[in-house]
Amino acid sequence: MTKPRRGGAISAVEGGLRFLALVEQRSGEIPLNCSEHADLRVERPVRTIAGSLMAGHCLAGVPGASSLVERIVRYVLDQREEQMIWRFFGKGSGIVPDLDDTAYALALLHKAGVDLPYYDYAEQLLKWRTQDGVFHTWFPEKGGQNNVDWVSNCNILYFLSLLGIRVPEVEAFLNSVVGEELFVRGSPYYDTPYQFAYFLGRLHRLMNPSPLTDSAQKVANLICTRWLASDKNEANGPRSVLAEVGVLLCSGSSSHWRACADSILLTQQENGSWPSAVVFRHRSKEVYYGSRAVSTCLALEGLCLAETVAVLGDQS
């Protein structure tokens, strides 16, 4: 593989931002599509808060993306319910509100400097835990069936960690999920190990000191040796942009970083976007969610993360 030069990374980020400026909706929503096909070959638009939340977090550290993020933040605020909770399909959609999207929304607003009583909201979230101290997914409990999802627990703990709140039971739970390799088969609401790698990596990089260092590296190693070593490069296969960025976030290995960053650069499309990749899946209905816009946000996050440690090849 030819090593991309630093200038190529800068140009790629600029191209990605131009693409996002064209597709971001006037409301600030970042498009997320759904499909009955795992390769997303037939996509249709769907209104959901989840894609915009992911996009907002991805772009928060991308130079030149501030106006995009500001509009996303306004959209997220518009989608909140009276009790400061969020629903996957947006305000008034009828789906049961969940702790996952709520915590992820609160984290984005906190990072954007929106003035809210975050510690009061954190206190409410902390009430929705099992006897073992890990978080439920839904509130109120969904017909008595409230699955514990390890990716959701990553996102809830991410918000709490922004406030300096530690939850040792959740930290131990996430380490056990990695130790027993439960993440390999996907979680109840996130279908592949890539989502877990991505959200665990974000949490790991936020916590200082991180109690997840060994687990994050193990996840990166497993993804690289079991999947990324394949020659396949289809959008939702082993080298999806979600997998690449997940490894970038989890790994402390410069060889992992260089390989993933180079791969991201080489899969950018002519219009500045990256191919659609599945970021969520509705298991019971076999519906997959993803879009070029969200993939592009992920790719820009990965490139900027890699750039901070100068792993994109020749810097001269």
Residue 220 in domain: yes
CA-to-CA separations, 117 to 6, 105, 140, 287, 315, in angstroms, rounded: 42, 14, 21, 36, 44
| pLDDT, tens only, 197-215 | 999 999 999 999 999 999 9
| pLDDT, tens only, 132-181 | 999 999 987 555 567 899 999 999 999 999 999 999 999 999 999 999 99
As a whole number of angstroms, the distance between CA 1 and CA 299 comes to 19
Residue 290 in domain: yes
For 164, phi and psi rounded to 5 degrees?
Answer: 80, 20
* Residue-number span of the structural domain to which 248 is assigned: 6-308
As a whole number of angstroms, the distance between CA 47 and CA 95 comes to 12
Q: How many domains does the chain have?
A: 1
Helix (H, G, I), strand (E, B) or coil at 127: coil
Residue 314 in domain: no
| pLDDT, tens only, 5-32 | 456 888 999 999 999 999 999 999 999 9
89: CB partners within 8 A, 6+ apart: 46, 47, 48, 49, 95
As a whole number of angstroms, the distance between CA 98 and CA 104 comes to 10
* CATH code for position 43: 1.50.10.20
Residue 268 in domain: yes
Residue 1 in domain: no
Residue 136 in domain: yes
Mean pLDDT throughout 57-79? 97
Residue 313 in domain: no
For the record, the structure tokens of 290 come out as 């993803």
> Does the pLDDT at position 313 exceed 50?
no
Closest CA to 196 of 218, 228, 225: 218
